[in-house]
């Protein structure tokens, strides 16, 4: 019976349930990569070469080369929790020494030995060691001053060909903002672009993008296994390349996420190191972990490989949030030379609509519905700039609804495409170029927002409604490692959304002189998407965890809960920004205070969020709850009124009045983001 | 919606991709782009990603040697390669490119003019011609071919751009 309290860990339970499928998989013949044991390259050397190797290793020892941080970057060594180092790379052919994963010295020696070899085939590689690992080769050659007679430099046609294709001019670090409707990408995404010398700055679409992502077997992409493996490292993470325009299509057009491009201030030599290092990444895979060793984490050593001494990875302990890595890149002195904003398809549409003279906006809307209106005298009589603005806006209004990349459109999509072609034909008949979209000022960048974790301290009083007496004074501490709360300043974050994970809160009561564990929210996500003529998306919320807000006296009792709801939101801009939402849903509760240990509730909830100024936000939430389990007097009302005042980028002041069945309280306090 | 979820999930998909032999037709960046890939559907990443790690080599190889995962290309066929890159670009970005052509400006249009061998100075003329001839170009199933015809018909573009 007690197992029911573990309700919020349902994700893991799912994963475990899927284990039999895993066992089944392992019966298939294993690829040799999984079982391959590299041979020590010393075995392939002549006695003279071994003698020379020993001399080189003496020099390496003098320089303590295997403890050099650059060597550790190239091989992805990371300090272990209990001393020693371990490489994060999980592919055996990434190492030359059988002990390479944990022994930087043995690996360095094996690399030098391998660079003596002038024929491909070692470790079953189709190219020579020098050509497989050009970044390591160049660095060791420089550090140990390889004698060209001992170790002749080889030409590497494959690498050279690839390098020439890339023809690097600069490296750009790219951040794709949140996509709140998909929890996996709520944290954003990062990758790099290799800017080609042959392309001008308005031709960056043709540049090459390098991405790190988990390689997920196609049959798993919708499954439970995906969640489980993704969190706990069951999939191999690999680097891949594609034209940048494919990334723009994916993030900007299809998912409607804004992109931020941070051009890095690398010298030509540093750029070349990045290219050489990325070439080495084709021999490697990493177990992919959603929280720490994720897409963003693996982009950092790519930057470190450019500039020896640059250290980007050390301060990530448990989580690597893409937003954090962007903040670090953006604020690292001398690293970024230029920032560019690339509006998503949605942002472009909003801008084009803004560019229509206000009196003509509804007509432009109608035009998107019915392109034939363009031929009416009402539109024909307008001047060129007005008609251009209207057509451009109407075109974007349709584009926002298109399924990007869909090869076999359904009837609705076909109708949209026909309207679009019609509008584009009209547009092409006005032989004037459209005015470019001007995005000044840009929306705030990630590094202008608060940091992702919050520690808050507050004080106040609480009482049980209907019970006479003075309120109990309390002091409260709350730790929220991730990442954004509904009322917090949303500069650099998604508007009207909340993504909270692992929120821990405790309270000290003056009356009893005792500390209480108050709550632990595993997940608490709210996504409000205001309805508009272009977006008819539902709003939703989902949360789960434990708390001690019990309705009946039950000292030290914890209640487990799982809450989900759907609804719609509206937004106006009478002051700064006002958002209204109405949702309905259900909550499953479990705990000893309930008859049979559990109870299901249904509720409706109205919320109103009001920004009086960018630094001042209020939130009113009221709900009416129908309690299950034949609870006497089942209908209750609950509500809260909260405020946030921003003091500085990482400090905020909060007030909170909350009325719950069984407890009402008021408090105020300070929050610090770190 | 389901498709969108799939797309998000398909971050760097395992899928049957980038398996083309070295040399020959599969060539250059985006080589596997939309070209006769079966069973993948419209998921962008699955269809387009040209992976570094050719999974056939590194992750599922049971015999043979590990080859450099990228490089599906024969450097000698650079003219063919450039034309394929144009077609890949036009096909993947058909929607964005059409919009820019009709509007007479935009990043897709300037990128495309570069791919069609036009110098930065000829970009404005390229944009004007594309806008003026948009109805003809959009009516042609082979957009790249239609653009080439219009370029040849315009004396300034014919001299300012080099398709080879």
Q: In Å, how far is A34's CA from the nearest CA of chain B? A: 8
Nearest to A158 among B5, B48, B71 (CB): B71
* A96-117 average pLDDT score: 94
Nearest to A238 among B52, B68, B135 (CB): B52
Give the model's confidence band at A54: pLDDT under 50 very low, under 70 low, under 90 confident, else very high.
very high
Give the pLDDT confidence score for residue A12 in this predicted structure. Answer: 45
* B52-60 average pLDDT score: 44
Beta-strand runs (E) in A104-234: 168-176, 189-196, 208-214
The SS3 call for residue A540 is: strand
Which of A89-93, A154-158, A213-217, B158-162 has the lowest average pLDDT?
A: A213-217
Q: Which is more confident, B144 or A35?
A: B144
C-alpha atoms less than 13 angstroms from C-alpha of A451 in its C-beta half-sphere? 15
- Does B3 touch chain A if contact means CB atoms closer than 8 Å? yes
Q: In Å, how far is A184's CA from the nearest CA of chain B? A: 8
Say how far residue B6 (Cα) sits from the centre of its chain: 23
Q: In Å, how far is B144's CA from the nearest CA of chain A? A: 16
DSSP result, chain B: -HHHHHHHHTTT--TT-S-PPSSTTS-STTTTTTSS--S-TT-HHHHH-EESS-HHHHTS--SS-B--SS----TT-HHHHHHHHHHHHHHHTHHHHHHHHHHT--HHHHHHHHHTTB-GGGHHHHHHHHHHTHHHHHHSS-HHHHHHHHHHHSHHHHHHB---
The residues, ordered by sequence, that sit 6+ positions from A514 with a Cβ below 8 Å of its Cβ are: A508
- Which residues of chain B are within 8 Å of residue A250 when distances are taken between CB atoms? 7, 44-45
Smallest CA–CA distance from B57 into chain A, residue? A33
Q: In Å, how far is B141's CA from the nearest CA of chain A? A: 14
Query: Which candidate, B46, B121, B44, B33, places its Cα nearest to that of B85?
Result: B33
Query: Which candidate, B44, B158, B40, places its Cα nearest to that of B95?
Result: B44
Q: Which is more confident, A283 or A413?
A: A413
Q: At residue A488, does pLDDT exceed 80?
A: yes
Nearest to B115 among A31, A206, A282 (CB): A206
Give the pLDDT confidence score for residue A187 in this predicted structure. Answer: 75
Q: At residue B74, does pLDDT exceed 50?
A: no
pLDDT, tens digit, for every residue of A390-444?
999 999 999 998 888 777 888 999 999 999 999 999 999 999 999 999 998 888 8
- Which residues of chain B are within 8 Å of residue A195 when distances are taken between CB atoms? none
Nearest to B53 among A120, A238, A408 (CB): A238
Which of A31-35, B87-91, B122-126 has the lowest average pLDDT?
A: A31-35
Q: Of the ranges A246-250, A344-348, A426-430, B77-81, which is most confident?
A: A426-430
Q: At residue A114, does pLDDT exceed 90?
A: yes
Query: Which candidate, A66, A140, A143, places its Cα nearest to that of A102?
Result: A66
The residues, ordered by sequence, that sit 6+ positions from A545 with a Cβ below 8 Å of its Cβ are: A8, A503, A519, A520, A521, A522, A523, A524, A560, A561
Q: At residue A637, does pLDDT exceed 90?
A: yes
The domain ranges of chain B are: 2-75, 78-160
Q: At residue B52, does pLDDT exceed 80?
A: no
| Whole-angstrom distance, CA of residue A178 vs CA of residue A216 | 21
Give the pLDDT confidence score for residue A318 in this predicted structure. Answer: 60
Q: At residue B42, does pLDDT exceed 60?
A: no
| Whole-angstrom distance, CA of residue A15 vs CA of residue A232 | 10
CA distance from start to end of chain B = 43
Torsion A101-A107-A110-A116 (CA) sign: positive
8 Å CB contact of A402 and B95: yes
Share of chain A above pLDDT 70, in %: 88
Give the pLDDT confidence score for residue B4 in this predicted structure. Answer: 34
| Whole-angstrom distance, CA of residue A604 vs CA of residue A621 | 11
Q: At residue A603, does pLDDT exceed 90?
A: yes
* Mean pLDDT for chain A overall: 86
Share of chain A above pLDDT 90, in %: 56
Q: In Å, how far is B63's CA from the nearest CA of chain A? A: 8
Give the pLDDT confidence score for residue A183 in this predicted structure. Answer: 53
Neighbours of A164 (CB within 10 A): 9
- Which residues of chain B are within 8 Å of residue A32 when distances are taken between CB atoms? 61-63
- Which residues of chain A are within 8 Å of residue B62 when distances are taken between CB atoms? 29, 31-32
Q: At residue A217, does pLDDT exceed 50?
A: yes
- Does B125 touch chain A if contact means CB atoms closer than 8 Å? no
Give the model's confidence band at A288: pLDDT under 50 very low, under 70 low, under 90 confident, else very high.
low
Smallest CA–CA distance from B137 into chain A, residue? A425
Q: At residue B54, does pLDDT exceed 60?
A: no
Q: A141 phi and psi, to 5 degrees?
A: -60, -45
B108: left (phi over 0), alpha (psi -120 to 50) or beta: alpha
| Whole-angstrom distance, CA of residue A209 vs CA of residue A244 | 5
Q: At residue B29, does pLDDT exceed 60?
A: no
Using the structure block, give the residue that is written with the tokens 């008819």. A536
- Does B72 touch chain A if contact means CB atoms closer than 8 Å? no
Query: Which candidate, A419, A412, A411, places its Cα nearest to that of A371?
Result: A419
Q: In Å, how far is B27's CA from the nearest CA of chain A? A: 12
- Cα angle A255, A261, A265 (rounded to 5 degrees) comes to 160
Dmax (CA) of chain B:
57
Neighbours of B4 (CB within 10 A): 15
Torsion B2-B4-B5-B9 (CA) sign: positive
Give the pLDDT confidence score for residue A212 in this predicted structure. Answer: 84
Q: Are A85 and A67 in contact (CB under 8 A)?
A: no
8 Å CB contact of B104 and A434: yes
- Does B137 touch chain A if contact means CB atoms closer than 8 Å? no
Q: At residue A454, does pLDDT exceed 90?
A: yes
Check: complex ipTM more than 0.90: no
In DSSP terms, which residues pair with A482 in a beta bridge?
A: A501
- Does B96 touch chain A if contact means CB atoms closer than 8 Å? yes
Q: At residue B76, does pLDDT exceed 70?
A: no
Q: Where are the alpha helices (DSSP H) in A167-310?
A: 224-232, 244-247, 268-280, 295-306
Which of A609-623, A642-656, B5-19 has the lowest average pLDDT?
A: B5-19
Give the pLDDT confidence score for residue A441 in this predicted structure. Answer: 81
Q: Are A122 and A312 in contact (CB under 8 A)?
A: no
* B7-26 average pLDDT score: 29
- Does B93 touch chain A if contact means CB atoms closer than 8 Å? yes
Give the pLDDT confidence score for residue A560 in this predicted structure. Answer: 94
Tokens of A398: 């349709």
Neighbours of A541 (CB within 10 A): 21
A309: left (phi over 0), alpha (psi -120 to 50) or beta: left
Give the model's confidence band at A492: pLDDT under 50 very low, under 70 low, under 90 confident, else very high.
confident
Q: Are A115 and A128 in contact (CB under 8 A)?
A: no
8 Å CB contact of B102 and A427: yes
Q: Which is more confident, A475 or B23?
A: A475
Task: Identify from A218, A235, A418, A527 which residue to disrupt to test chain B contact, counting B C-beta atoms within 10 A and taking the largest count.
Answer: A218
Report CA dihedral (A595, A597, A602, A603) to the nearest 10 degrees. Answer: 100
- Which residues of chain A are within 8 Å of residue B55 when distances are taken between CB atoms? 215
Task: Identify from B1, B17, B58 which residue to disrupt to test chain A contact, counting A C-beta atoms within 10 A and taking the largest count.
Answer: B58
- Which residues of chain B are within 8 Å of residue A182 when distances are taken between CB atoms? 4-5, 8
Give the pLDDT confidence score for residue A240 in this predicted structure. Answer: 80
């Amino acid at each position: 019976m007690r197992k029911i309290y573990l309700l919020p860990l349902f994700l893991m339970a799912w994963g475990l349930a899927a284990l039999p499928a895993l066992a089944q998989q392992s019966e298939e013949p294993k690829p040799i990569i999984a079982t391959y044991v590299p041979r020590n390259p010393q075995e392939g050397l002549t006695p003279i070469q071994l003698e020379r190797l020993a001399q080189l290793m003496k020099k390496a020892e003098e320089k303590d080369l295997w403890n050099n941080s650059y060597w550790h970057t190239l091989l992805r060594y990371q300090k272990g929790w209990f001393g020693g180092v371990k490489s994060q790379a999980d592919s055996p052919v990434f190492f030359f020494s059988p002990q390479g994963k944990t022994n930087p010295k043995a690996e360095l020696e094996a690399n030098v030995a391998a660079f003596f070899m002038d024929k491909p085939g070692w470790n079953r590689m189709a190219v020579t060691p020098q050509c497989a690992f050009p970044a390591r080769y160049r660095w060791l050659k420089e550090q140990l001053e390889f004698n060209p007679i001992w170790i002749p430099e080889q030409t590497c046609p494959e690498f050279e060909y690839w390098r020439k294709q890339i023809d690097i001019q600069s490296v750009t670090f790219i951040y794709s903002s949140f996509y709140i409707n998909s929890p996996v990408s709520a944290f954003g995404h990062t990758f790099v672009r290799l800017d080609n010398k042959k392309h001008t700055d308005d031709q960056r679409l043709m540049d090459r993008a390098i991405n790190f992502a988990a390689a997920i077997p196609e049959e798993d992409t919708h499954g439970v296994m995906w969640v489980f493996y993704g969190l706990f490292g069951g999939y191999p993470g690999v680097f891949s390349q594609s034209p940048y325009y494919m990334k723009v299509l994916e993030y900007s057009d299809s998912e409607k996420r804004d992109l931020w491009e941070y051009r890095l201030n690398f010298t030509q030599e540093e750029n070349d190191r990045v290219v050489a290092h990325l070439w080495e990444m084709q021999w490697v895979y990493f177990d992919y972990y959603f929280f720490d060793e994720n897409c963003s984490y693996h982009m950092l050593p790519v930057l470190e490989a450019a500039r020896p001494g640059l250290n980007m990875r050390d301060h990530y302990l448990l989580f690597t949030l893409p937003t954090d890595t962007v903040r670090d890149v953006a604020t690292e002195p001398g690293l970024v030379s230029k920032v560019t904003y690339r509006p998503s398809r949605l942002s472009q549409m909003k801008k084009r609509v803004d560019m229509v003279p206000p009196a003509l906006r509804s007509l432009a809307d109608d035009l998107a519905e019915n392109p034939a209106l363009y031929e009416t005298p009402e539109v024909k009589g307008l001047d060129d700039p007005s008609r251009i603005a209207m057509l451009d806006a109407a075109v974007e209004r349709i584009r926002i609804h298109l399924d990007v990349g869909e090869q076999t459109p359904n009837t609705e999509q076909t109708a949209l495409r026909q309207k679009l072609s019609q509008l584009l034909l009209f547009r092409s008949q006005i032989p004037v170029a459209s005015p470019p979209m001007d995005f000044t000022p840009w929306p705030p960048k990630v590094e202008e927002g608060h940091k992702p974790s919050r520690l808050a301290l507050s004080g106040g009083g609480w009482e049980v409604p209907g019970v006479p007496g003075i309120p109990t004074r309390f002091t409260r501490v709350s730790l929220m490692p991730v990442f954004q709360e509904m009322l917090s300043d949303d500069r650099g974050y998604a508007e009207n959304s909340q993504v909270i994970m692992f929120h821990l809160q405790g309270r000290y009561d003056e009356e009893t002189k005792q500390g209480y564990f108050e709550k632990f929210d595993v997940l608490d996500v709210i996504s409000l998407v205001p309805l508009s003529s272009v977006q008819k998306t539902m709003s939703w919320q989902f949360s789960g965890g434990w708390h001690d807000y019990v309705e009946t006296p039950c000292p030290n009792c914890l209640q487990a809960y799982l809450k989900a709801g759907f609804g719609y939101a509206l937004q106006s801009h009478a002051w700064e920004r006002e958002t209204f939402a109405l949702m309905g849903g259900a909550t499953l509760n479990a705990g000893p205070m309930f008859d049979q240990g559990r109870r299901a509730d249904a509720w409706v909830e109205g919320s109103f969020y009001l920004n009086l100024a960018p630094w001042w936000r209020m939130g009113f939430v009221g709900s009416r709850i129908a309690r299950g389990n034949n609870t006497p007097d089942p209908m209750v009302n609950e509500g809260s009124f909260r405020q946030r005042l921003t003091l500085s980028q990482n400090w905020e002041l909060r007030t909170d009045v909350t009325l719950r069945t069984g407890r009402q309280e008021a408090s105020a306090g300070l929050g610090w983001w770190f | 919606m389901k498709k969108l979820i799939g797309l998000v999930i398909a971050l760097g998909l395992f899928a049957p991709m980038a398996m083309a032999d070295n040399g020959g037709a599969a060539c250059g960046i985006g080589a596997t782009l939309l070209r006769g890939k079966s069973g993948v559907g419209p998921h962008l990443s699955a269809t387009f990603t040209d992976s570094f790690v050719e999974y056939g080599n590194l992750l599922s190889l049971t015999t043979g040697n590990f080859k450099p995962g990228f490089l599906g290309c024969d450097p000698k066929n650079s003219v063919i390669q450039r034309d394929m890159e144009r077609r890949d670009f036009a096909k993947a970005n058909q929607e964005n490119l059409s919009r820019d052509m009709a509007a007479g400006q935009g990043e897709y249009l300037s990128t495309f003019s570069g791919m069609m061998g036009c110098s930065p100075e000829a970009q404005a003329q390229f944009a004007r011609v594309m806008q003026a001839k948009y109805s003809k170009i959009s009516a042609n199933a082979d957009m790249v071919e239609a653009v080439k015809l219009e370029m040849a018909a315009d004396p300034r573009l014919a001299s300012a751009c080099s398709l080879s």
